Chain A
Amino acid sequence: MRNDENTIICRCEDLTLARLRQLIAEGYTTLDEIKRISRAGMGPCQGRTCRALIEREIANLTGTPIKDQPPAKYRQPCQPVKLAAILGGEPHAKDS
């Protein structure tokens, strides 16, 4: 197995570095496009780990520096919240 096949970039959605490189080579060259085709950044952490890694890999492979890449939208809520907690019926704690 190649090294990039067991390197996980998005740990919520199991995107490997090998798959990411393949997607960039196929023409998905922005974070938004990669997110939508691979689900990277759509899991419980909402891209906190993978965003920066994907942007860096896009920069490496396409030559477009991170500062020139279109930024992907940050969406609320900023961390997962139970529907019951939104209603005020349950405390919001990480282990609840």
Chain B
Amino acid sequence: MQKTADAVIVGGGVNGVSIAYNLAKRGMRNVCVIERDYLASGSTGRCGAGVRAQWGTEMNLRMSMASVRMFENMNEELAYDDDIEFNQGGYLLLAYSDEGFEQFKKNVALQRAHGLEVDLLTAAEAKEIVPHLNIEGLVGATYCPTDGHCNPFKVTDAYAKAARRLGAKIYTNTTVTGIRKENGCVCGVETTRGYISAPVVVNAAGGYSQDVAAMVGLEIPTYSERHQILVTEPVEPLQKPMVMSFHHNIYCQQSPHGSFIMGLGDPTEKPGYNIEASWQFLQEMAEKITWLLPPLRHLRVVRQWAGLYNMTPDRTPILGPVDEVEGFYLAVGFSGHGFMLAPAVGVLLAQSILGQETPIPLEPMNLSRFARGELFHEPSVV
């Protein structure tokens, strides 16, 4: 393995390879990614594969809108020899209380001010978009037609291939065991295949970000939490948009392949690293989804799995450099939406590392926001 690098990225998920590609594209010659298992083996490959711009804070909104535009042109931009399977069937978000609907109105005002095409709908209008939706108790909804679905494995593969063509190296089956620093600056990464000296180290370790930060003696407020998903057999096209209810903590989308992917958030889930699927999830999902979308009762579940959300106290990612250790950068705490933000995160982190001006300011998303008490309040997370 190589002995030196200009930058080492810890984590071969979609954000790690997106950052690697963007650094290489901007002229950094010697970039490498260290991945403990195989690419997209962690949170990226376990995610619900949804892509949306309907967020409630300006930062998430701006990053996700930029990402949607990049997904639209990604096959060409990355000269991908396959297809990332980006399908814009929209997202229908449901409100079951006046309070929830008031929040949606605020979100839509913010989203429209930033140029997002999004509509506030009555329950009856929501049913026109998804005719099999049970609208009992539904107060209203929002709908954005450019939201959708994309294949996380293919996106990771596309970035990895493009990064390699530009000279980046990706080491899979290689574990980072330590990070060395000297006089407050990072100087290299110890791995199971040897030491690489590097002036820049990026923590893109997903569910294990807090452990990688601890390797430089940095305490960050991220923690991991299991979230579960299931997928059904593929059927004929039945439901165009993702249907999401924050009240029920549920999302459900038919993929272009025909299968339905559905996930639930469990408010009683304890922080930890458990990624085993449970039968309790299957039972709860069956109850909730057959109430919300009744015809889905006829579908067969073929597989369930789980993955980690890397959470922050304000459910917004932590991005950019840190004051405590020079050369150490964070792309962590995506709180369940790291896949859909990865195109923008790659650009922003690369620009930040190279000392270039970023089109979206990164400072508000730095780690120091917690010390300053300047937290975001993202209202729209399942």
Taking beta carbons and an 8 Å cutoff, which residues of A are in contact with B? 30, 32-33, 36-37, 39, 42-44, 46, 73, 75-77, 80-84, 86-87, 89-90
Q: Using Cβ atoms and an 8 Å threshold, which residues of chain A touch B257?
A: 39
With an 8 A cutoff between CB atoms, is B289 at the interface?
yes
User: Contact between A43 and B38 (Cβ–Cβ < 8 Å)?
Assistant: no
- 9 example contacts (A-B, Cβ-Cβ < 8 A) are as follows A37-B157, A43-B302, A44-B302, A75-B304, A80-B302, A83-B298, A84-B290, A84-B298, A87-B287
Considering only CB atoms and an 8 Å cut-off, how many residues of chain B contact the other chain?
32
Contacts beyond the supplied A42-B303, A89-B297: 9 A-B pairs with Cβ under 8 Å: A76-B279, A76-B304, A80-B300, A82-B298, A82-B300, A83-B232, A83-B301, A84-B298, A86-B283
Q: Which residue of A lies closest to B305 (CB)?
A: A75
The 3 A-B residue pairs with the shortest CB-CB distance, nearest first, are: A80-B300, A84-B297, A86-B286
Q: Using Cβ atoms and an 8 Å threshold, which residues of chain A touch B265?
A: none
User: Contact between B303 and A46 (Cβ–Cβ < 8 Å)?
Assistant: yes
Residues of B256-300 at the interface with A, using a CB-CB cut-off of 8 Å, are 257, 277, 279, 282-283, 285-287, 289-290, 296-300
Q: Give CA–CA (A30, B154) in the complex, Å.
A: 16
User: Contact between B297 and A82 (Cβ–Cβ < 8 Å)?
Assistant: yes
Q: Chain A contact residues: over half helix, strand or loop, or mixed?
A: loop
Q: Would A86 and B301 be within 8 Å (CB), given that A32-B38, A32-B41, A36-B153 are in contact?
A: yes
User: Contact between A75 and B303 (Cβ–Cβ < 8 Å)?
Assistant: yes
With an 8 A cutoff between CB atoms, is B379 at the interface?
no
User: Contact between B297 and A80 (Cβ–Cβ < 8 Å)?
Assistant: no
User: Contact between A81 and B297 (Cβ–Cβ < 8 Å)?
Assistant: no
Q: Give CA–CA (A86, B298) in the complex, Å.
A: 11
Q: Give CA–CA (A75, B276) in the complex, Å.
A: 9
Q: Which of A30, A32, A73, A80 contacts B233 (CB 8 A)?
A: A80
User: Contact between A76 and B299 (Cβ–Cβ < 8 Å)?
Assistant: no
User: Contact between B301 and A87 (Cβ–Cβ < 8 Å)?
Assistant: no
